[in-house]
Chain A
């Protein structure tokens, strides 16, 4: 089954304790992206990657890191989480293309609470 998976689905942590949220897709997609969803703000892009070893900042990259060492995986790293990073996080992937028409496929989400 074609899918995007994220782990963990739920996470409670404390301020300053480094954490990683994993994302994996089995569709051989070149493009992957991380979003955070907050009430009243919709989804905002954190980072995206157009291929292995190619990443760039989205709209709200502060406090986050990513890496893309393999095509299928795109982990999100919070080196020193703060309470304002409490949110619902989504990973997405899409096939490559020369325009913005590609459909993005979303993972089930990771709900993070930073105390």
Chain B
């Protein structure tokens, strides 16, 4: 069975500082991993996904994530936070043999301070 743990339900970062959101997964088969972002009063939008090609994945809005199998992690980073990055971020895992079955983490709310 697959599961996702996001460390920290709330993260506060200063504008211009590094954004680091942590995600650890468990999966019995090779996983596919996703980061989604949810802006206030909107649906979820895909930031990036890992599908067993490159372990360092670049996404939209300057975000990237690195798949580390040995650590079962898929942490999301952005070098310099912008006010527009304030949102809720969800990590999700899907197993290679379970088409469409996405398991989401609990989410991390990001606040960006001037």
B77 contacts partner chain A, Cβ-Cβ < 8 Å: no
Q: Is the CB of B106 within 8 A of A100?
A: no
Query: Please, which residues of chain B bring their CB within 8 A of the CB of A33?
Result: 100, 102
Q: How many residues of B contact A (CB 8 A)?
A: 30
Bound complex: CA A41 to CA B43 (Å) = 16
Whether the pair B94, A100 counts as a contact (CB closer than 8 A) is: yes
A41–B107 alpha-carbon span in the complex (Å): 8
Query: What's the Cα separation between A108 and B49 when bound, in Å?
Result: 21
User: What B residues does A31 contact at CB under 8 A?
Assistant: 99-100
Residue among B6, B31, B44, B107 with the highest chain A CB neighbour number at 10 A: B44
Interface string of B72-114 (1 = CB under 8 A from A): 0000000000000000001010111111111011110000000
Q: Which of A78-115 contact B (CB under 8 A)?
A: 90, 92, 94, 96-109
Asked whether, in the complex, the Cβ of A42 is within 8 Å of the Cβ of B100, the reply is no
Interface residues of A (CB under 8 A from B): 4, 31, 33, 35, 40-45, 48, 50, 58, 90, 92, 94, 96-109
